[in-house]
Amino acid sequence: MFTSLFQTHLVEHQDAISKLSAMSDQIAPLADAWLTALKNGKKIIFFGNGGSAADAQHLAAELVVRYRVNRPALAGLALTTDTSILTAHSNDFGFETVFSRQIEALAQPGDVALGISTSGTSKNVLLALEAANQRGCVTIAFTGEKGADCAAEAKLAFKAPSSITARVQECHLLIGHLLCDVVEKAYATA
């Protein structure tokens, strides 16, 4: 059983990852958006639910601390980490606006707001992207291949080439690391 399951996971992973090479024209603008924001003193704001919340925190940490090399700290912020805000807002107002409220408080024109939703239908991610658009942010959605709702709300989108949640998340992290590497190289050589 293990061997069969192992092979299935590998095949699904390799299938999704192999499709990324044809998507470089869709991914390059994401790197440009990150670079433009950071070079203009703006920040990258990440948000998502569950595993996507973990990815949001992971990518924010890569920017603030470092990805591969020591360089100046870069402004990355995950809206998924402040338990007092998350629980107070969810208790008082509901979970659907937990990210949009933080966007209202923290986002500035020119910031990048990156919503991560493997399904592309998470209501709180959609509302946060909408709020970020209203505040003049560059909005990016990371979704799965069927993530039309979030992708339509965002100015830019990366739709991972899979409908399997785990494979979507693997693609999100790979592209997230790529974007971190692009900006880090720009700052390490500056």
> What are 46-86's pLDDT values in tens digits?
999 999 999 999 999 999 999 999 999 999 999 999 999 99
User: Against a cut of 0.85, is the pTM above it?
Assistant: yes
CA pair distance 128, 114, nearest whole angstrom: 9
Provide the pLDDT for residue 147.
87
Q: CA dist 50 to 22, 34, 55, 82, 156, Å?
A: 28, 24, 9, 14, 22
Query: What percentage of the chain has pLDDT greater than the value 90?
Result: 97
Separation between Cα atoms, residue 98 and residue 163, nearest integer Å: 26
Residues 6+ apart with CB under 8 A from 66: 184
Reported as a pLDDT band with limits 50, 70 and 90, residue 146 is very high
pLDDT value at residue 134: 98
User: In which region does residue 41 sit, left (phi positive, over 0), alpha (psi from -120 to 50) or beta (all else)?
Assistant: left
CB atoms within 10 A of CB 110: 15
pLDDT at 178: 98
| pLDDT at 189 (0 to 100) | 65
Enclosing H/E stretch for 115:
strand 112-116
Tokens of 161: 């080439």
